[in-house]
């Protein structure tokens, strides 16, 4: 009875462990638990499977132990026909807890409606916006994240880096689909941040390697072409694409003229300026005349609230980290990178860059770390004494590409061309400075996708940051948009 009372306190889901009582699970053991969650007035009963998938080579030697948590809806007449979504986060080096306990899974972190942290100890509650009513869910922790580790004498480097990671995660998806008889199911992959890079790569790898054709690819806070994020000397592509996010941030913190009272109309105006005036001006380099330069500075001042002197000193360019420090310097505050609505404080106000990202450290890191560690052991009944790696630097070095920017947009275009039924949904936060929304839209516009297939891509936007779902209204809208996407992606 104590166990039931405890799970009621944590969120109203009755859990019954079907696994034997063990102090520590053996490698390869899976723990099965049962749960319920109410969605839109309907009770969803489900089975949770937690543990390792032993990844073997063709000589039957275990290469790695991949940790996953899967949720399957109970009572389905033919489970093989039910959709299944394989989900993960990014980093590289991030476990899947953010999507798992922020948006998709049957539990979510209790936060303010804005998306701010509550005081510790943190709580998780039933997630009435879970996607489990529409699809089964498999959360994957890539190498050196969560509890996933190499086996025996195998080194992590065999599973890290863009290519190795795609093969490792893709091989798991193929194996899970085979073991659990899901080849007849509508199949989707979904990721956040670098997880979107992985998703595009997987769409190509699964299709080309295994004939594993997907119905849908879900990209949350996407990065498909890394040249759009790079601000190294000689690459000016990122600056015009960052400007709308910076302008949205200045608007939110009331640094713009009051005439900009509507965010949508402001962003439309800034986007046009960024492409038609700002980008060509940067393209002229030192050939930009003094009068043209002054005109660009005036506009940038209007759209960012930053001083003309600062814009001139930065040679018309804005750098993430530096601008996060500058925007609210007079107030003694910094703005976040993951979510620029969030502010923080540095040791002093004179630094060039912010000391840390308040939208991560002050907002989500503690609540999510506490919740996943408690949830796995107490509710899912899975025990493992090694650290659950949440956002680990242990994956590095991480080879992205060789002598060029990593660009998986072409991989996604190829997969969509070979599989014209493949649908793609890209969700973007207006206040996300890690993967700015306008950069993503620009990449989509440069994919070279034939016009007959362009309608297969849907882009949606939210008044939130990188982790869109931490903001309650955005979480609610995301669920509605997900339902629309599933209706479009699944065979009728």
- Nearest partner of 92 among 173, 172, 221, 197, judged by Cα: 197
Each residue's pLDDT tens digit, 240-295: 999 999 999 999 999 999 999 999 999 999 999 999 999 999 999 999 999 999 99
Residues 216 and 428 sit within 8 Å (Cβ to Cβ): no
> Where in the chain are the domains?
2-227+364-489, 234-359
Each residue's pLDDT tens digit, 357-391: 999 999 999 999 999 999 999 999 999 999 999 99
Three-state DSSP at 439 gives helix
* Section 2-18 average pLDDT: 32
Distance CA 173, CA 179 (A): 10
- Global confidence as pTM: 0.92
Each residue's pLDDT tens digit, 152-188: 999 999 999 999 999 999 999 999 999 999 999 999 9
Fold of 2-227+364-489: Rossmann fold (3.40.50)
Mean pLDDT for the chain overall: 93
Residues 393 and 94 sit within 8 Å (Cβ to Cβ): no
Each residue's pLDDT tens digit, 406-440: 999 999 999 999 999 999 999 999 999 999 999 99
* Predicted local confidence at residue 21, as pLDDT: 35
What lies within 8 Å, CB to CB, of 299 at 6+ separation is: 273, 277, 278
353/392: higher pLDDT: 353
* Section 19-42 average pLDDT: 76
Residues 320 and 466 sit within 8 Å (Cβ to Cβ): no
Q: Is 115 exposed, middle or buried (0-12, 13-18, 19+ CB in 10 A)?
A: buried
């Amino acid at each position: 009875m104590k166990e039931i009372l405890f799970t009621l306190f944590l969120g109203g889901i009755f859990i019954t462990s079907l696994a034997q009582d063990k102090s520590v699970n053996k490698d390869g053991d899976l723990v099965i638990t049962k749960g319920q969650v109410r969605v839109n007035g309907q009770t969803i009963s489900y089975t949770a499977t937690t543990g390792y998938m032993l990844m073997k080579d063709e000589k039957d030697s275990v290469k790695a132990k991949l940790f996953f948590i899967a949720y399957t809806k109970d009572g389905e007449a033919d489970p093989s026909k039910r959709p299944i979504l394989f989900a993960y986060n990014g980093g590289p080096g991030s476990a899947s807890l953010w999507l798992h306990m922020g948006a998709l899974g049957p539990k979510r972190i209790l936060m303010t409606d804005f998306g701010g942290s509550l005081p510790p100890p943190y709580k998780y509650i039933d997630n009435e916006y879970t996607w489990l009513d529409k699809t089964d869910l498999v959360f994957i922790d890539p190498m050196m994240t969560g509890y996933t580790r190499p086996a025996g004498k195998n080194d992590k480097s065999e599973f890290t880096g863009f290519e190795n990671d795609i093969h490792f995660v893709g091989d798991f998806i193929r194996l899970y689909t085979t073991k659990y008889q899901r080849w007849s199911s509508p199949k989707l992959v979904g990721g956040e941040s670098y997880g979107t890079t992985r998703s595009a790569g997987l769409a190509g790898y699964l299709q080309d390697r295994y004939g594993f054709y997907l119905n849908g690819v879900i990209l949350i806070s996407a990065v498909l072409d890394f040249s759009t994020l790079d601000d190294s000397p000689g690459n000016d592509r990122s600056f015009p694409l960052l400007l709308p996010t910076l302008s949205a941030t200045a608007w939110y913190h009331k640094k713009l003229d009051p005439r900009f009272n509507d965010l949508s109309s402001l962003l439309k105006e800034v986007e046009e300026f960024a492409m038609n005036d700002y980008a060509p001006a940067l393209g002229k380099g030192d050939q930009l005349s003094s009068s043209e330069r002054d005109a660009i500075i005036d506009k940038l001042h209007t759209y960012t609230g930053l001083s003309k002197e600062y814009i001139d000193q930065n040679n018309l360019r804005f750098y993430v980290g530096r601008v996060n420090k500058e925007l609210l310097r007079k107030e003694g505050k910094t703005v976040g990178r993951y979510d620029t609505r969030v502010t923080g404080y540095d040791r002093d106000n004179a630094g060039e860059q912010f000391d840390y990202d308040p939208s991560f450290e002050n907002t989500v890191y503690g609540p999510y770390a506490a919740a996943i560690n408690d949830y796995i052991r107490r509710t899912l009944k899975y025990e493992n004494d090694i650290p659950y790696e949440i956002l680990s630097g242990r994956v590095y070095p991480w080879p992205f590409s060789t002598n060029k920017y990593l660009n998986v947009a072409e991989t996604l275009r190829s997969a969509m061309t070979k599989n014209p039924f493949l649908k793609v949904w890209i969700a973007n936060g207006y206040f996300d400075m890690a993967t700015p929304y306008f950069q993503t839209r620009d990449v989509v516009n440069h994919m070279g996708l034939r016009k007959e297939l362009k309608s297969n891509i849907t882009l949606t936007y939210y008044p939130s940051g990188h982790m869109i779902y931490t903001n309650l209204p955005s979480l609610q809208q995301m669920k509605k948009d997900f339902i629309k996407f599933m209706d479009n992606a699944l065979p009728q």
